[in-house]
Structure 1
Amino acid sequence: RPHALSVTEIKRLIRDPYAIYVKHSLKLRALNPLVQSPDAPVRGIIVHEIMERFIKSVMVEPENLTKAHLLETASTVLDAEAPWPAARVMWLTKIERIADWFIENEVKRQSYSRPAAFEKAAKGRHVLADLGFTLTGYADRIDRTDDGDILIYDYKTGTPPSVAEQKAFDKQLLLEAAMIEEGGFKEIGPATVARAAYIGLGSKPIERPAPLEDEPPHEVLAKLHALITSYLSEDQGFTSRRMVKTTDFAGDYDQLARFGEWDATTEPTPEDLK
């Protein structure tokens, strides 16, 4: 049974436990495509790179906080990282559509805080010593206010999870906030997290906060402890597609799970694999 997971894998453990079992216990991975296509994951990686480069340039030269410089940065990154002419044009157009909104909100963000760490440096871990379990995570961006409080931001090229989804399933920001307050991010140190939010960069841009007041760090970590305790027990099975968001969800391991020979109405049958 897995004794280390990332914050982004907790959602999968809740929604599709079998995928965690196959990846971490059976050590199986989906094969890389023979020819990479300009799909959503690739776009997400590239957009993250664009935003990180742009914000870093603004830290050096504050006058770079403009739409023109954002689009220039986007064009440079796309030329280097996206070898698909049509996709480059489409992705640049999408960034252009949200550029005014992003700049307006970035001006507000930087009026009360400054970026303190990005993904490579914003690495954290939290150990549940009694369970022998380690939670790891990377934050896209961590800002610090003049008072020393922390703000966490995560870029999303799709629709950010709702508050209800964050409470029940998508616990990434809640877990990262708890880890920071426990001193799990060495580059940051223990600090109060004043805010955590997803910056949605899709067709309808939105900044959606995490429900930190409703889900304080001690409760988040207590729920994590209970979840991991359950899945480290031999009595708990790793059910496939346990609580998928939509019925048309396609998992990497559906074929291995023989999905199709059974459906969502089928009761899981426990099986000891020893």
Structure 2
Amino acid sequence: MSVPAITTPDSEGEAPRRPALSPSRAIDFKQCPLKYRLRAIDKIPEAPSRAAVRGTLVHAILEALFGLPAPERDLDHAAGLIQPAWQRLLERRPETADLIAEDELGGFLAEAHDLVRVYFQLEDPTGFDPESCEAFIEAELPDGTPLRGFVDRIDRTPVGALHVIDYKTGRAPGVDHETRALFQLKFYALVLMRTLGTAPAELRLMYLTDGQTLTYEPDAEELLRFERIVSALWQAITTATQTGDFPPSRSWMCQYCEFKPLCPEFGGTPPPYPTVTPIPGTTDL
């Protein structure tokens, strides 16, 4: 049985898109409406971090791993995928070359290798074939709220149940941060439930720094309650987009925000609100 409304990005890494809400932008708005505006509407450029580039590289390696025949999906073959994946990343995003100095490249690639090695401690990729990798999923809720996201991997069990897997190259969250991770998992579960008519059997976050796994088994009633939260977020974003009112929300997360120079909470001034704004949510994940 095929999985409807799930596609794989084309050769340029793009998938068909329409204005919709993604888990990352939903979390941005929940955390700080101004951050959402500067990122999704003003599209203020953000410098890539070393950790983000490493995460992109590891995701590319694991995607390529499942392009190999099952018997070849071992650590030695995975190690051979690191350099080609890095070269493809440089071709797609040449600016990353400025982030990793030439004398640091060996150590950087070794970090990626260590994360891939931890992946092999969490599961044996020779025993199954994924239904899809880097899948683009989208759905429209009954009230018209459009949702979308990219999922690292979707597996189907022998009895037909769907398992959704997302790789994380950081550490597993503590209790204070677990809510954010569960929000992402519930978001994916909701999209798939509305697409397929039934919730996936399991969603799993695999944390490759410390080898931890966070698993969530969706419940339909819980997802319907979560759906109301997501719909309310979309409505709030719609209203803010119409009024231009995206207030800052100060929290401990501000210390990690690149937009502090533009934030009134820190003496900054946001750019003038665009006279022509995109549909809420924009097409930016």
TM over 0.5: yes
Query: Structure 1 length normalisation: TM-score?
Result: 0.73
Distance 2:105 2:194 in 1: 41
CA shift at 1:214, angstroms?
10
3-state SS, counterpart of residue 109 of structure 2: helix
The within-5 A match list for 1:7-26 is: 7-24=23-40
Distance 1:182 1:214 in 2: 10
Find the counterpart in structure 2 of residue 64 from structure 1. Answer: 72
**Counterpart of 2:206 in structure 1: which amino acid?**
I
CA shift at 1:13, angstroms?
1.1
The within-5 A match list for 1:1-274 is: 4-24=20-40, 27-31=41-45, 39-57=50-68, 61-81=69-89, 83=97, 84=100, 85-107=102-124, 111=127, 114-119=129-134, 122-128=135-141, 130=143, 132-162=144-174, 165-167=177-179, 171-183=183-195, 189-202=196-209, 204-210=210-216, 212=218, 216-233=222-239, 237-242=245-250, 244-252=251-259, 254-261=260-267
Q: Could you list the structure 1 runs, at least 4 aligned residues long, displaced by more than 6 angstroms after superposition.
A: none
CA shift at 1:173, angstroms?
1.8
**Counterpart of 1:93 in structure 2: which amino acid?**
A
Q: Which runs of 5+ in 2 are unaligned?
A: 1-18, 91-96, 269-274, 276-285
Distance 1:115 1:191 in 2: 19
CA shift at 1:22, angstroms?
3.3
Distance 1:127 1:180 in 2: 11
Distance 2:202 2:187 in 1: 13
Find the counterpart in structure 2 of residue 186 from structure 1. Answer: none
| Cα pair 2:58 2:116 within 8 Å, conserved | no
CA shift at 1:52, angstroms?
0.3
**Counterpart of 1:117 in structure 2: which amino acid?**
S
Distance 1:237 1:170 in 2: 28
**Counterpart of 1:102 in structure 2: which amino acid?**
Y
- Per-residue CA deviations over 1:169-205 (Å, capped at 9, x if unaligned) read 762221111111211xxxxx44541211212122x23
Larger fraction in helix: 2
Moved more, 8-17 or 83-92: 83-92
Query: Structure 2 length normalisation: TM-score?
Result: 0.71
CA shift at 1:160, angstroms?
3.9
Distance 2:182 2:244 in 1: 21
3-state SS, counterpart of residue 247 of structure 2: coil
3-state SS, counterpart of residue 248 of structure 1: helix
Q: Which runs of 5+ in 1 are unaligned?
A: 184-188, 263-272
Q: 1:104 to 1:15 in 2, by over 3 A?
A: same
| Cα pair 1:78 1:88 within 8 Å, conserved | no
CA shift at 1:222, angstroms?
2.1
Identity %: 20
| Cα pair 1:139 1:153 within 8 Å, conserved | yes
- Corresponding residue pairs, total: 240
Moved more, 227-236 or 71-80: 227-236
- Per-residue CA deviations over 1:237-261 (Å, capped at 9, x if unaligned) read 533135x453522233x32223323
